[in-house]
Amino acid sequence: MIEEVPKMSFERVGMHSHIRGLGLDENGRARFIGDGMVGQVKAREAAGIAVRLIKRGKLAGKGILLVGPTGSGKTAIAMGIARELGEDVPFVQIAGSEIYSAEMKKTEFLKQALRRAIGVKISEERKVYEGAIEKIEIKKTRHPFNPYVEVPDSVLITLKTKDDEKTFRAGREIAYQILEQGIEEGDVIQIDAESGRVSKLGTTKEEEGIFLKRRVGLPTGPVLKIKEFTYTVTLHDLDIVNSRAGGILSLFFGGGMEINDEVRQRVDETVKGWVEEGKAVLVPGVLFIDECHMLDIEAFSFLARAMESELAPILILATNRGRTRIRGTDIEAPHGIPIDMLDRLLIINTEPYRKDEVREIVKIRAAEEGIEISDEAVEYLAELGEKTSLRYAVQLLAPAHVLAGGRVEREHIERAEEYFADIKRSIAFVEKLEGMLQ
């Protein structure tokens, strides 16, 4: 058995670490609390419908726009969508402002993000010997140049499954791998018939000690069999691997590298070939762009064009802006998004949280951050969150915890509130100063 290592207490707790899904029931209805999500019922249900559309491939070439005030859970819902889509579906998150980096052109950054969001599920059938080691004998011989050293020469292995047993002799390559991996009787192994690669799957033996191996059952079927292996990579992974062929240095400076469009074309063609031969399946994922009002007109038109292409991920955008200028122009548009892009987007609104929702979210966050807090303090934060913002209420937890040094009470939150301003108060403060100076 592999035992999970307990989380270390000093680990940085991510803002959205408590979100494990959208918290919907079988009928797609939101439970008030579920998967770490609280309230915001309509938006969560809408997101659930979007997930179903994505899984059925019905949202290809389109996107979702999450619109709502700051701290209303837009990013949280996007994370929930990611979790619902499952491990195999790539989910890439960027912020609109990230495209303005000094290292890369805007469009190059976006291209890479788009290609990281498309998975290629490769499956391969391979002939393998698989079974538990019943008996193993490594034959050693003298080193050809040094008679005092013994080296493995060959190995005699008996592999067993529930239904079969086979004894065979294998050469030096395999003997070496067996020694290196410390493989012994009772271990379940797989040997690739063509390449001779040995992999250890675990052991069938009951063990004691510190270095516990994974317990696995005795395999079934014949020892020599054809097995299907699948693994998922992204188009961007393939781009990187293929451009690395050019220069070994790129291996060490992986990030921030511009990729040649020719490489991308070659990768696309190869992948299409695999798909036609039935060796691979494309898994379009999601590109989530938070604070999308930071994108400029060039970025939007690039994205709109990219969404037309056959190999496009689903786009999820989020913003808290109403009518505003499209960056890079003097044109005002809803949410600062050009109309041709808006036309492709399903809009989901997130509403400001009510007190009962803030209360539950505060409790979840406190538990997630390992902070003990009194009921009165939770109640006070709930009121505060309704008046200012959820985000502010959640943010005060950590400083209040520092001030308390133990259980957080209402007074600690009041003190934290004096030290740290919410946005409205901070703006009012600056405006008052400006008024005094005029």
Provide the minimum distance between the beta carbon of 96 and ligand ATP in the complex, in angstroms, as a whole number: 11
Q: CB under 6 A: which stretch of 68-76, 90-98, 164-172, 222-230 binds ligand ATP?
A: 68-76
Beta bridge partners of 63: 315, 345
Taking the least distance from each CB to Mg ion, the nearer of 82 and 408 is: 82
Smallest distance from the beta carbon of 418 to Mg ion, in angstroms?
A: 26
Which option in Mg ion, ligand ATP, none does residue 23 bind, with CB closer than 5 to 8 A by kind? Answer: none
Q: Cβ closer to ligand ATP: 74 or 359?
A: 74
Closer to ligand ATP by CB, 342 or 364: give it: 364
Contact partner, 359, from Mg ion, ligand ATP, none, Cβ < 5-8 Å per class: none
Q: Please give the C-alpha separations between residue 342 and each of 18, 64, 92, 121, 365, in angstroms, as whole numbers.
A: 31, 9, 21, 31, 34
Q: Binding of ligand ATP at residue 72 (CB under 6 A)?
A: yes
> Could you tell me the smallest distance in angstroms from the CB atom of residue 354 to ligand ATP?
11
Three-point CA angle 394, 400, 404, nearest 5° = 150
CA dist 288 and 198 (Å) reads 40
Part in contact with ligand ATP (CB under 6 A); list of ranges 2-10, 66-74, 186-194, 410-418: 66-74
Residue 50: C-alpha distances to residues 44, 57, 94, 288 (Å): 10, 10, 20, 14
Residue 65 in contact with ligand ATP, rule: CB under 6 A: no
Measured distance CA(46)–CA(44) in Å, rounded: 5
Which of Mg ion, ligand ATP, none does residue 107 bind to, with CB < 5 to 8 Å depending on kind?
none
Q: How far is the CB of 16 from ligand ATP (least distance, A)?
A: 4
Q: Which residue minimizes CB distance to Mg ion?
A: 75
Residue 232 CA, distance from chain mean position: 13
Taking the complex as a whole, the smallest distance from the CB of residue 19 to ligand ATP amounts, in Å, to 6
Please identify which residue in the block is written with the tokens 């000093």.
10
Q: In this structure, which amino acid lies at residue 143?
A: H
Query: What residues from 73 to 112 belong to the interface with ligand ATP (CB under 6 A)?
Result: 73-76
Alpha-carbon gap, residue 155 to 428, rounded angstroms: 79
Measured CA to CA, the distance from residue 111 to residue 117 in angstroms comes to 10
How long a stretch of residues is the chain? 438
Spatial separation of the C-alpha atoms in residues 291 and 294, rounded to whole Å: 6
Closest CB to ligand ATP belongs to which residue?
73
Binding mask of the shown chain, residues 284 to 323, with x at each position contacting ligand ATP by CB under 6 A: ------------------------------------x---
Q: How far is the CB of 185 from ligand ATP (least distance, A)?
A: 50
Amino acid code (one letter) for 389: S
Assess contact for 78 and 316: CB atoms under 8 A.
Answer: yes
Nearest-angstrom CA–CA distance, 337 and 352 = 22
The contact mask relative to ligand ATP for 43-62 (x = CB under 6 A, - = no) is --------------------
Q: Which does 191 bind (CB under 5 to 8 A by kind): ligand ATP, Mg ion, none?
A: none
Q: What is the DSSP letter of 252?
A: T
99: nearest Cα among 254, 239, 303, 284: 303
What is the H or E stretch that residue 215 is in?
Answer: none
CA distance 400 to 276: 59
Query: Least distance from C-beta 134 to ligand ATP, angstroms?
Result: 53
Taking CB under 6 A as the criterion, the residue among 24, 30, 39, 341 binding ligand ATP is: 39
40 binds ligand ATP (CB under 6 A): yes
Measured between alpha carbons, how far is 201 from 203 in angstroms, rounded to an integer? Answer: 7
Applying CB under 5 A, the residues found at the interface with Mg ion are: 75
User: Binding of ligand ATP at residue 70 (CB under 6 A)?
Assistant: yes
Residue 140 sits in the site that holds ligand ATP (CB under 6 A) = no
Nearer to Mg ion, 75 or 112 (CB): 75
Place of tokens 């008052």: 432
390 binds, among ligand ATP, Mg ion, none (CB under 5 to 8 A by kind): ligand ATP
Q: Does 358 bind ligand ATP (CB under 6 A)?
A: no
What is the x/- site pattern for ligand ATP, positions 361-400, by CB under 6 A? Answer: x----------------------------xx--x------
Non-local (6+) Cβ contacts of 379 within 8 A are: 359
Structure tokens at 2: 């592999």
Is 16 a binding residue for ligand ATP by CB under 6 A? The answer is yes
Distance in angstroms (rounded) separating the CA atoms of residues 156 and 150: 17
Considering only residues 22, 24, 30, 38, which one is a binding residue for ligand ATP as defined by CB under 6 A? 38
Rounded Cα distance between 396 and 401, Å, is 8
Residues near ligand ATP, by CB under 6 A: 15-16, 19, 36-40, 68, 70-76, 320, 361, 390-391, 394
